[in-house]
Amino acid sequence: MQNVLSIIFKRLLLGLLTLFVISIVIFIAVNALPGDFAELILGQGATPESVAAIRRDLGLDEPLYTRYFTWLGGMLTGDLGTSFAQLNFANAMGGAGSVTVAEQIAPRFANTIFLASVTAAIAVPVAVTLGILAALYRNTVFDRAANVLTLSSISSPEFFMAYLLILFLAVLNPILPSLSNIYDGMPFGERLEKTLLPALTLTLVVTAHMMRMTRAAIINLLASPYIEMARLKGLSPIRVIVKHALPNALAPIINVIALNLAYLITGVVVVEVVFVYPGIGQLFVDSVKIRDIPVVQACCLIFASAYILLNLTADIMSILSNPRLRHPK
């Protein structure tokens, strides 16, 4: 057990180091975006003096490394800063109504988590079931059909799949709403209905990875001696796979599920924009348009943190589910 804790501790340290390096990359990349917030809000009639005054008020005239360490210190204390756009609006209103980046992101991030949860609730059982059945009936018509359908869905761009679903499920057959205009306090049933179409789009995108990994992991184990012994005992093929093969194939399956769950949080930008879903991806796109640097940086860091955290979770789950990793020689 001590060896397992040591491995987990090393993974956590590596994750923190990775996040630190990513924070540097995010800060440099975001500040290298073309355009200037001060020039954007002042318009074409901006004078150099007024632009300089706004940059000074926002702290944009300070050296890059000073701004980075100020931002990093705020991150470590939970202070994500204040949105430039909200600050400008508050100043226009006489100093009232300023909203911090955390207050702006929190409801959007909760919406994205809800979308990812609905997608995972659909995609994970479907993908694992299809993978088990494809392994059980490999090289049959069902196996080939499942592979063709899943590969076709993953090979198509997300926006293309989204517009196809809108066409068939919202326009030609008005079953689901095409716009996901959810809001705080919406009844759960209505919220779920408006989230289903983007969730189905993401399901089509992530199912193929999980299904193919489940199929490959189980097929690799079917030639093992203990699987042959289970067959000789007269166990049914489905019981051989579910009871004997699947538990030993959990490590790669858990890894691919965690990676796809990370994608559901970090890769939802296109889907949220298509369905006008008020998640963190939509907020990220809107903030990039107006060069709202604090919000863009916070969104990027949240994406990176979620991806690293889910990868660490996958590593830890793989260690706990694999005796060979728990007791390395």
Within a domain: residue 265? yes
Residue by residue, DSSP assigns 88-157 as HHHHHTTS----BHHHHHHHHHHHHHHHHHHHHHHHHHHHHHHHHHHHHTTTSHHHHHHHHHHHHHHHS-
What does DSSP assign to residue 176? S
Within a domain: residue 88? no
Within a domain: residue 122? yes
CATH number of the domain that residue 210 is part of: 1.10.3720.10
Q: What is the number of domains present in the chain?
A: 1
How many Cα neighbours within 13 Å face the side chain of 134? Answer: 25
Within a domain: residue 231? yes
Question: Helix 2-31 to helix 293-321 angle, to the nearest 10 degrees?
Answer: 160
Within a domain: residue 118? yes
What is the dihedral angle through the alpha carbons of 253, 255, 256, 262, rounded to the nearest 10 degrees?
A: 140
Candidates 227, 262, 223, 261; CA nearest to 244 is 227
Within a domain: residue 251? yes
Within a domain: residue 321? no
Neighbours of 173 (CB within 10 A): 9
Q: What's the domain range around 229?
A: 111-286
> In this structure, are residues 312 and 261 in contact, taking their beta carbons and an 8 Å threshold?
no
pLDDT in tens, the chain (329 residues): 567 777 778 888 888 899 899 999 988 888 887 766 666 666 666 677 777 777 777 777 788 888 888 888 888 888 887 777 766 555 554 555 567 888 888 899 999 999 999 999 999 999 988 888 888 888 889 888 888 888 888 888 888 888 999 999 888 888 888 888 888 888 998 999 999 999 999 998 888 888 888 888 888 887 788 888 888 888 787 888 878 787 777 778 888 888 888 888 877 888 998 998 999 988 898 888 877 888 888 998 998 888 888 888 888 777 776 666 555 55
Within a domain: residue 269? yes
